[in-house]
C-alpha cells in the first residue's frame, strides 16, 4: 500500500517499485474522467507509463481484474483506491451503504493479499485537513479512512509518501495486526 497526500509522489513510487520487479506490469486505472482537466491528467499519466505496461481501465471491480490476470511474477498497480471509493459512492448503486463499500474493499484486500502477483494499491490520506462542509464529503472522508485501514491491515508493506519521500510505516507500527 502506498498512501499520502495529493502530489506526494505516490504513483511515481509505485511505478518505480513495479519497474524494479522486472516483471509484467498491469496498471489498473480506476479514474472516470468527468472534465477536460481530469482527461489531461489521465493522458499525462498514460504518457508517463512505460510502453510495455498493460493498462486495464476498471472503475468498479479491480478485484475481478486481479483474479483474471493473476500469475506469479506479475505486478499490479491499482491507481487508485481513492477514486475507486469515490466511484462507488457516486454510483447510486451503493452510495448510501458504507458497509457495502467496505465489504468491497475487504474483498479487494483479500484478493490482493492472496494473489500470486505483487499488488501495489495507491491511495490518499484525505482526512488530514479541515472538516468538510457537506455531508457527502464527510461521508467520503470517513469511508475512505476506513477503507485505507482495511487495505493497510492486509498489506505486507505500507508506505507513507511525504514530499516525494517514502517512509515504510508497517514496520514502525505498534498495532501491526489491526
Give residue limits of the domains in the chain. 2-172
Please determine, looking at this structure, whether the domain spanning 2-172 carries the CATH number 3.40.50.300: yes
For position 34, what pLDDT does the model report?
Answer: 86
Active site residues per annotation = 45
Q: How far is CA 70 from CA 87, 114, 115, 134, 167, in A?
A: 24, 10, 6, 40, 28
Q: Is the dihedral of CA 70, 152, 107, 124 positive or negative?
A: negative
What would the pLDDT profile of 12-39 be if each residue is shown by its tens digit? 999 999 999 888 999 999 998 889 998 9
How many residues comprise the chain? Answer: 178
Cell 495486526: give the residue. 177
Mean pLDDT within 108-131: 96
What would the pLDDT profile of 127-178 be if each residue is shown by its tens digit? 888 899 999 899 999 999 999 999 999 999 999 999 999 999 998 988 765 5
**Is the overall model pTM greater than 0.85, yes or no?**
yes
Q: Are 84 and 62 in contact (CB under 8 A)?
A: yes
Mean pLDDT within 99-123: 97
For residue 161, give the 3-state DSSP assignment: strand
Q: Is the dihedral of CA 136, 100, 119, 127 positive or negative?
A: positive
Phi and psi, residue 30, nearest 5°: -105, -5
Cell 491511495: give the residue. 123
For the chain, the average pLDDT equals 93
Amino acid at each position: 500500500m502506498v498512501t499520502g497526500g495529493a502530489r506526494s509522489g505516490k504513483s511515481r513510487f509505485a511505478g518505480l517499485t513495479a519497474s524494479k520487479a522486472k516483471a509484467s506490469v498491469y496498471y489498473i486505472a480506476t479514474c472516470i474522467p468527468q472534465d477536460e482537466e481530469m482527461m489531461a491528467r489521465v493522458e499525462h499519466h498514460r504518457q508517463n507509463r512505460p510502453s510495455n505496461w498493460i493498462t486495464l481501465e476498471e472503475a468498479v471491480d479491480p478485484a475481478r481484474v486481479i483474479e483474471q490476470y493473476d500469475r506469479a511474477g506479475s505486478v499490479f498497480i491499482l491507481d487508485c483506491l481513492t477514486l475507486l471509493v469515490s466511484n462507488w459512492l457516486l454510483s447510486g448503486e451503493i452510495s448510501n451503504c458504507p458497509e457495502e463499500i467496505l465489504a468491497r474493499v475487504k474483498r479487494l484486500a483479500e484478493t490482493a493479499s492472496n494473489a500470486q502477483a505483487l499488488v501495489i494499491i495507491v491511495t490518499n490520506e484525505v482526512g488530514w485537513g479541515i472538516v468538510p462542509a457537506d455531508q457527502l464529503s464527510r461521508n467520503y472522508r470517513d469511508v475512505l479512512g476506513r477503507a485505507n485501514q482495511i487495505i493497510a491491515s492486509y498489506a505486507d508493506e505500507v508506505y507513507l509518501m511525504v514530499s516525494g519521500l517514502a517512509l515504510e510505516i508497517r514496520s514502525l507500527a505498534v498495532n501491526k495486526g489491526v
